[in-house]
Amino acid sequence: MLSPISPTVRILPAILIAILGLRQIGPHKRFAALFLVALLVLHALTQVHASQVAPAAQRSVKKSPTIFNQPFKILPPVNSLDAANAQLLPDTTDPRDVAKEHLTATLGFPENEWVIKNVVKTSTGVTAVYVRQLINGLEVVNGDINLNIQNGQVKSIGDSFYRGARPSQPDLAALSAAASSGLSSSSVQSPVDAFKSLAAFVGSPSPTTVHVEPSPTPTDQTGTSDDLPPTTNPALFQITSEIAKQPVPVRRAYVQDGNNLKLVYSFQLQQEDNWYHGHVNAVTGDVEAVNDWIANAIYPVIPVGVASPDAGPIVNVNENDVALTYASPQGWHKAGMLAFTDTRGNNVDKIPLTSDPAKNGRPDFRPFAPDFTKIAGQYTAGATVQLNYVLNSAHDPAYQHGFDEVSGNFQIENFGNGGFGDDAMKELVQHREGVINAFFSTPPDG
């Protein structure tokens, strides 16, 4: 009986293939590939011994309804200070003024249909201006524009504003009556019933007490702006209940769904392990969308810095502790408005490609106990999770060292930072076409 091949011997062909392939790669991709090769040297991990890790307590995963999102459109740079605009916007490079001019004069949105939510200056000299759409004085929770501005120029823009027919003004009298009485009618839901719908959807115990009262200090916890009028998207009510750690702000808003706008109650329900931003239809009581502001993934992996399982056991690593927000602002398992609970994400998509179709689904992050006395096909899921962790761990430091969106890195969503998106790394684990091999393809950005 032959002895198992050592991890070092098994990884050498992969390293040689990767290094030889670098000669055909552009300078930016070559930087990333070299970085990945270095990590692969450190992590010849999916073929070596490991100890079993006990399952960790995990929060249940809630799946939110599908919410429609306009695709973000990346437009070419626009000089907001050219001759045509000089009279309208004289002698200013203030990013807020440039954004206002672009929204009104170029995109054609009157000033009462949007509000600047945030203005963020970056170390690169680009200022990001984030804008939320307003209709009938209410925010469209999935209607946003972000403008990246430098030296008076709009360098790029992402646009998901709603452009369908405007609805009539909501029946504020009926909404107020439902809030005061706590009773729903055929035309409108009360905040109490909408709150109970949200609680049931996210799997919370049915609340025994739901007390609605006017909000003492209307504030916008989702963002603030000097341009935000006092009447724009205030927390009209707050709900106290035993299922919430804090009083729950309640707002009225719209959610766009294709060519329709739906009037919703927006709740911020904070619990022990979850913090839900939920939107419940104010007419039907249906839950239109839920976003959990608390998100993490537990990886049972051999951590970065440990050369092999012989040097340390498999440990549970929390995504919140290892993902770098500067490089992955949404974490490793969200891409734009898409959230995943498996080995997909904005930077990497990992799928096994073995000869057994039953093993080729993307695994979630439950603890796996690989038995390395068996063939590799017996621990495919563990190998896939390990590679997901290693390559995401490569993406973030590489970003900090200059391999960002403009430099052609690998991301689905580029967050308006330039470059071309929709090119996350797609990793095929335990490829059925061969053994003891590796290849890394780097087509043009995008």
Domain end, chosen from 233, 256, 285, is at 285
Strand locations in 242-297 (E): 248-257, 260-270, 275-281, 287-292
Question: Can you give the CATH number for the domain in which 145 is found?
Answer: 3.10.450.490
What is the pLDDT, as a whole number, of residue 183?
82
Beta strands 210-214 and 237-241 are antiparallel
Using an 8 Å Cβ cutoff, are 310 and 48 in contact? Answer: yes
What is the pLDDT, as a whole number, of residue 278?
93
- Answer whether residue 257 is part of any domain: yes
- Asked if 221 and 129 sit in the same domain, the reply is no
Alpha-carbon 178 to chain mean position: 35
pTM (2 d.p.): 0.54
**Which residue, 356, 365, 444, is CA-closest to 408?**
444
Residues in the chain: 446
What is the pLDDT, as a whole number, of residue 11?
38
What is the pLDDT, as a whole number, of residue 317?
84
Cβ atoms within 10 Å, residue 38? 12
Highest-confidence segment of 5-19, 66-80, 139-153, 292-306: 139-153
Domain span including residue 105 = 78-159
- Answer whether residue 182 is part of any domain: no
Question: What confidence tier does 215 reach under pLDDT thresholds 50, 70, 90?
Answer: confident
Top pLDDT among 87 and 196 is at: 196
Distance CA 117, CA 39 (A): 40
Cβ atoms within 10 Å, residue 209? 9
Helix (H, G, I), strand (E, B) or coil at 16: helix
- Asked if 265 and 304 sit in the same domain, the reply is no
Instruction: Give 106-166 as a DSSP string.
Output: IS---GGGEEEEEEEE-TTS-EEEEEEEEETTEEEEEEEEEEEEETTEEEEEEE----SPP
Instruction: Give the single-character DSSP code of 45.
Output: -
- Asked if 422 and 304 sit in the same domain, the reply is yes
Computed over every residue of the chain, the mean pLDDT equals 74
Top pLDDT among 172 and 153 is at: 153
- Count of CA atoms in the C-beta half-sphere (13 A) of 20: 8
Q: Which two tokens stand for residue 337?
A: 């408005």
pLDDT tens string 379-422: 777 788 888 888 899 899 988 888 888 888 888 888 888 888 88
Overall number of domains in the chain: 3
Domain end, chosen from 266, 285, 304, is at 285
Helix (H, G, I), strand (E, B) or coil at 4: coil
- Asked if 400 and 310 sit in the same domain, the reply is yes
Domain end, chosen from 142, 159, 176, is at 159
Res 220 pLDDT > 60: no
Output the furthest CA–CA distance in the chain (Å, rounded). 85
Which residue type does 117 have? K
Distance CA 391, CA 397 (A): 11
pLDDT tens string 66-112: 455 555 555 555 544 444 444 444 446 899 999 999 999 999 999 99
- Answer whether residue 135 is part of any domain: yes
- Answer whether residue 316 is part of any domain: yes
Alpha-carbon 356 to chain mean position: 32
- Asked if 196 and 236 sit in the same domain, the reply is yes
Helix (H, G, I), strand (E, B) or coil at 41: helix
Question: Can you give the CATH number for the domain in which 422 is found?
Answer: 3.10.170.10
Q: Which two tokens stand for residue 364?
A: 């979630």
Q: Is the dihedral of CA 222, 319, 198, 161 positive or negative?
A: positive
Residues 6+ apart with CB under 8 A from 301: 45, 314, 315, 317, 385, 386, 389, 390
Question: What confidence tier does 275 reach under pLDDT thresholds 50, 70, 90?
Answer: confident
Top pLDDT among 76 and 273 is at: 273
Q: Which residues pair with 171 in a beta bridge?
A: none
- Asked if 302 and 266 sit in the same domain, the reply is no
- Count of CA atoms in the C-beta half-sphere (13 A) of 111: 8
Using an 8 Å Cβ cutoff, are 351 and 432 in contact? Answer: no
